[in-house]
Amino acid sequence: MLARADAPALLLIAPTGAGKTLSGFLPSLAELAGAPRPGLHTLYVSPLKALAADIKRNLLAPIEELGLPIRVEDRTGDTSQSVRKRQRVDPPHVLLTTPESLALLLSYEDAPRIFEGLQRVVVDEIHALAESKRGDQLFLSLSRLDALAPCLRRVGLSATVDDPEEIACLLARNPEPCVILHADPGPPPDLSILETGRPPPWMGGAALHAIPAVLEEVKRHKTTLIFHNTRAQAEIFFHNLWLRNDDSLPIAIHHGSLSREARSRVEAAMLGGELKAIVCTGTLDLGIDWGDVDLVIQMGGPKYVKRLVQRIGRANHRADEPSKAILVPANRFEVLECVAAIESALDGDLDGTRRGPGPLDVLCQHILIRACAGPFAADALFAEVRTTGGYTDLPRETFDACLEFCATGGYALRAYDRWRRLLLRDGLWQLRDPRAAKRIRMNIGTIEDTGSLSVRLRSGSHLGEIEEYFASTLTPGDTFLIGGQVVRFEGLKEMTVEVTRRPDAQPRVGRFGGGKFPTSVVLTHRILAMLQQESWPELPRHTSDWLALQRRISRLPQAGRLLVETFHAEERWHAAFWGFAGQNAHQTLGLLLTHRMEVQGLDPLGFVATDYALLVTGLREIEDPASLLDPADLREGFETWLQGNAVMKRTFRGVALIAGLIERNLPGSRKTGRQATFSSDILYDTLVRYDPDHLLLRVTREEAQRGLVDFGRVEEMLSRIQGRIDHARAARVTPLAAPLLLERGRVPVEGRARERLLEAQAARLLEEAGLEELS
């Protein structure tokens, strides 16, 4: 690292726990060890606040030991106002921060003064940032820093990734080169599947059958991290784990919906060596170096090989020993997924990201942030933006469209010339009303906010947060899990969910949001290849028998073809489409197919989408599945009909928030909840109808294709099968499809059927209430 200290951009790739973070600071410490001049020298950016605090501890130890005159401070959302103010006046030598706090710093008018002497910026966990809009925002911020601090050198620290060049391109100031250093990858990890003594259930994700075996493993090891893919699953598992924890092993829970106090308590207990295990989610994927963790348990299929590798690295933060991880399939399909994931991890066959060009909503926010800091020339900002990896090919007209959006809303109907946000004066763009800066600053950030409500006990203590949508489905008396305890919903008070403790009650599970990722292409392809084997000696007996039975009764899905099984069961016709395209893509396919079925009079009732298959249920058999799967028809359906879909609206909300069309925290606007802010769905519908070419609709469509709608994976599947469709008409439910019938989360077909249901229920309620006489 020291030898390359003067490279303008340097990417260090090392497995988790190889001490790469401190090595990223070595050149800074060496430069500062002499007589540091006052002012900011090194900026450290990490995706986690906790990481910034942890690095501070780790950095301060050697600095104090050697008596170096170096000031190190952190600055995150948790830093107090007075400290933040002081930091702007008198910055430390080393500032540890997050992408959002950095963007906020750059929005101040004194940003040039704060950053003028900056020498180095260290981006930690850059592989994780590179996957999200937070990274796009950070890389745009780096382009701004470059303009303010001409001597700036960039260092990126990354875990092992499939394509280091891609990360290097994001890190470097384009078109400048980036040096890539590879650290010793260390010994291969010790990976296995948990032996539970009995087969996993057919469906579901809770893996409760594994609790006794998991407890045994926890007992056998010093400290265990038990990773779950969703917050809700972590809550259910934790709740049930404690019901069986006869030895009262100290086990805690940690996820993003818990209050900050609850999380810091757990982190402190962990650092103090008081815990045997933590049930956790992605919030602990990255970050704090807990030396004593000697086992990682992954509950459920890991979905992404990269995520598994990252989690494996959380165990044994010593480069010379293998990390140990145990995978726990929650159902039969996940047995395949876990075996495939272990093979991929050991082969170093990691999933790619291919994120496409930098998102425009983030660029819009960047323009607004730039405007907060003072007047700017469009040409100069455009040139800066183009030095950022994701935006090197950004056309000028697209940049101008974003600028226009920021200035006037970018509507075909030019209604806001009087109240525009930005105006051009003497060749420089600036805020029309400087007071707008405050509101823009309050909305900085790209972390998706699904609209969450705070959960409080009547006594006042804050337990965590739940999704607004979930809260809206609660009626007083309902019970749900949060932080491992069962609480009873009492009512909504302003924007707070009031609850009381109900340890005796059966919980109804909270839908907390949090990531629901589809299984990656790499993993699904491996599973497909596995299905074509003659036999399956690497699989547990229960799973290989199941596959053999499927082969005898029907057939097994193949990579280059699409297997469609139709059968009659439980008085309904079912059709299983084995697309292996991931849950989001299957859901989209389900919406498109059932819509076409309705047109063809096939009476669809609903569907279930999993990572592997789509199961459509209806009153009639699909006799010609190929007729439903014409790529041109599907594409057209996507363009026209899917516009009105809820996932599009949800994507739009995120885009509109980031781009600054709507605001996250309107001061005072949520006080009463009365005539509360209307839904962004209305804005979406209005734009679709009156301004269909609007910039944000374009951004929404592109993003939905890649994200929630995942039409990209539908396309991938269609090009993979090239019209080769195998229709298997089975006499009864097939072994492979049987679990699908048990899957929860059926999506009812929208339209008349649902409306009829509502009317029927309304009529029944009217009759029960004896209120017909009012009509």
CA dist 170 and 355 (Å) reads 12
Instruction: State the binding string over 692-731 for other proteins (x if CB under 8 A, else -).
Output: --x-------------------------------------
Residues 486-525 that bind other proteins (CB under 8 A): 493
Contacts of 270 (CB under 8 A, 6+ apart): 223, 252, 278, 290
Judged by DSSP in three states, 469 sits in helix
Phi, psi of 452 (to 5 degrees): -115, 150
Helices (H) and strands (E) in the chain, counts: 29, 26
Judged by DSSP in three states, 418 sits in coil
- List 541, 552, 674, 744, residue binding other proteins (CB under 8 A): 674
**Tokens representing 175?**
């078109």
Indicate the residue among 24 and 660 with the shorter CB distance to other proteins.
660
Rg (CA), the chain: 27
Contacts of 44 (CB under 8 A, 6+ apart): 24, 25, 52, 55, 94, 95, 96, 97, 121, 122, 124
Least distance from other proteins to the Cβ atom of residue 674, Å = 5
- List 3, 89, 243, 413, residue binding other proteins (CB under 8 A): 413
CA dist 451 and 444 (Å) reads 16
- Per CB under 8 A, 754 contacts other proteins: yes
- List 99, 409, 483, 507, residue binding other proteins (CB under 8 A): 409
CA dist 71 and 452 (Å) reads 37
Phi, psi of 274 (to 5 degrees): -90, -10
753 to 569, 603, 644: CA distances (angstroms): 21, 10, 17
486 forms bridges with which residues in the sheet? 481
- Fill in the DSSP letter of residue 1: -
Indicate the residue among 623 and 759 with the shorter CB distance to other proteins.
759
CA dist 345 and 306 (Å) reads 8
Indicate the residue among 37 and 678 with the shorter CB distance to other proteins.
678
46-54, 326-334, 710-718, 754-762 -> range binding other proteins (CB under 8 A): 754-762
Indicate the residue among 409 and 445 with the shorter CB distance to other proteins.
409
Least distance from other proteins to the Cβ atom of residue 130, Å = 32
- Per CB under 8 A, 769 contacts other proteins: yes
- List 347, 433, 621, 636, residue binding other proteins (CB under 8 A): 433
- List 222, 666, 722, 742, residue binding other proteins (CB under 8 A): 666
Least distance from other proteins to the Cβ atom of residue 276, Å = 41
Instruction: State the binding string over 604-643 for other proteins (x if CB under 8 A, else -).
Output: ----------------------------------------
- Per CB under 8 A, 771 contacts other proteins: yes
306-314, 368-376, 630-638, 688-696 -> range binding other proteins (CB under 8 A): 688-696
Contacts of 624 (CB under 8 A, 6+ apart): 727
- Per CB under 8 A, 683 contacts other proteins: yes
Least distance from other proteins to the Cβ atom of residue 215, Å = 37
Least distance from other proteins to the Cβ atom of residue 556, Å = 39
**Which stretches of 14-104 are assigned E, i.e. beta strand?**
42-45, 72-75, 94-97
Q: Comparing C-alpha atoms, which of 138, 153, 186 is closest to residue 13?
A: 186
Indicate the residue among 418 and 541 with the shorter CB distance to other proteins.
418
Residues 464-493 that bind other proteins (CB under 8 A): 472-473, 475, 493
Q: Comparing C-alpha atoms, which of 441, 361, 386, 394 is closest to residue 111?
A: 441
Indicate the residue among 274 and 494 with the shorter CB distance to other proteins.
494
- List 356, 690, 692, 722, residue binding other proteins (CB under 8 A): 690
**Residue 209 and residue 196 in contact, taking contact as beta carbons nearer than 8 Å:** yes
- Per CB under 8 A, 404 contacts other proteins: no
- List 239, 439, 456, 649, residue binding other proteins (CB under 8 A): 439
CA dist 36 and 76 (Å) reads 24
Residue listed under structure tokens 């990269």: 306
- List 192, 500, 532, 677, residue binding other proteins (CB under 8 A): 677
- List 108, 202, 382, 411, residue binding other proteins (CB under 8 A): 411
Least distance from other proteins to the Cβ atom of residue 759, Å = 6
- Per CB under 8 A, 460 contacts other proteins: no
- Per CB under 8 A, 671 contacts other proteins: no
Contacts of 291 (CB under 8 A, 6+ apart): 317, 318
Binders of other proteins: how many residues, by CB under 8 A?
50
Least distance from other proteins to the Cβ atom of residue 373, Å = 17
Least distance from other proteins to the Cβ atom of residue 758, Å = 5
**Which stretches of 682-746 are assigned E, i.e. beta strand?**
725-729
**Residue 207 and residue 200 in contact, taking contact as beta carbons nearer than 8 Å:** yes
Query: Prior bond to 175 cis, omega within 30?
Result: yes
Residues that bind other proteins (CB under 8 A): 408-409, 411, 413, 415-416, 418-421, 433, 435-436, 439, 472-473, 475, 493, 661-663, 666, 673-679, 682-683, 686-687, 689-691, 694, 754-755, 757-759, 761-762, 765-766, 769, 771, 774-775
